[in-house]
Structure formats: C-alpha cells, structure tokens
Copies of this chain bind each other. A is one copy, B any other.
C-alpha cells in the first residue's frame, strides 16, 4: 500500500488528520532529505528513506518498490501531494493495479496566503519559476497570460543560486500589464522555524532578494492593504 501524502507547510497543525493517519500507519516514509528531517521530528519511531533533491525518479521508484514488497509506505511532499509534488510521477511510474491513495494537503499558496491576509480571495494562478523541467519561454508566456487576465499570481520556486534574477525577470513580464504599485507579498519558511511574511509593492518586489524557501504573491488590480494585511476582495462588501 502506497500513500502519497502532502503534509502541508511542515508543522503538525498544518497537516490534515488523514495525512497524520497515513503517516502513522506507514512502516516506511520516503522523501526528499529536508522533508524527511521535518517528519522525523513528528514521527520519530518510523523507518525513513531519504533521497537528495533532483532524485525524484529514484525516490518514487523506491517507494513503489517497497509497496510492491507488501510494505505500507508513505511518499511525502511538502504542501499538497500533487501541486509541484510527486503524485503525478508516481501515477506515471506505478504498475497497473498498484494500491495507491492520494492524500491532499495545504499547499504554500494557501498557508502563505493566510500569513499575509487573504490574497487569494478571488481568481488566482500558480506558476513555478523553476526552469529545470519547463523552458523559460513557457514560464514567461504563462506569466504574461496570468497578468493579462488580472489573476492574483502565486510564484513557487521563485529563486535558486543558478536563477538569482528569475524573480526580477518575472516581475518585468507582469509589469507589462500591472501597475508598479500593485500590492505584493512574500512568505518564507511557512510553518517552520524562521517563519516570516511581509508585503511590498511590485516595483519593490522586482528588486527583492528571495530564496528557495519563499513563496511570492502578486496581487490583482483589486488587491489592497487593509490594516497591514494583503486582501483581494471577492466583492461581498458591496452586495
């Protein structure tokens, strides 16, 4: 039996009860090294198998192999199991008839949003800035379309050592359609030590330095600051 578990931001409160139950039931928990570290603190009695970043294929095959041996296994992703997680790859690589249960979780757009206020109060789009698996042209096209559609935009993987200028490039694309004063927000280390959230304008965001533990929010034309919080109204107030 293989559970593919999205464990949320990383603290026990952000995990669903179904995720906790799946992890409790599992004999082996398989994941990326940093995530295994987080779960080891919460479920110290379990057997763990950690694989490094970019070892996604081996990680998924290892989990499927253990499950095929009859073990109860959890393959873990931070946030949700599917949103930039491992569920898709596991479903692709699984043999027909494999017993798999997907356990969704609170993705960073939601947990980071709650730290900032209610940026996702209306239609939104999620875009990953990682070009490891997606050509930059496709990323740029999506940013352009999301900005043209006046979506609130959530940026996952906004930076890495090799991609230090990607956030600035993304902001330039969005600025084709949005005012430099657009309300934006940054959430970092959500649900973990060093958790922080702050708001800034789109022009400030363009100059900001962020790391790979950060999720970035760009408001729509309707997003505003209310008592220090980033809020995209749905319109109820005027009904």
Contacts and interface: CB of A to CB of B under 8 A. Distances in A.
- Secondary structure dominating the interface of A: mixed
Contacts of A208: none
Contacts of A81: 114, 118
A234 interface: yes
A189 B6 CA distance: 21
A88 B225 CA distance: 11
Q: Which residue, A54, A85, A102, A234, has most C-beta atoms of chain B within 10 A?
A: A234
Nearest to A127: B123
Give this chain's copy count.
2
A103 to B, nearest CB: 7
Interface string A123-166: 11111100011100010011011101111000000000000000
B148 A88 contact: no
Contacts of A60: 236
Given A17-B15, A21-B13, A117 B146 contact: no
Contacts of A118: 81-82, 85, 87-88, 91, 102
A127 to B, nearest CB: 5
Interface in A73-93: 80-89, 91-93
Interface of A: 6, 8, 12-18, 20-21, 54, 56-57, 60, 80-89, 91-94, 96, 102-107, 110-111, 113-115, 117-128, 132-134, 138, 141-142, 144-146, 148-151, 226-227, 229, 231-237, 239
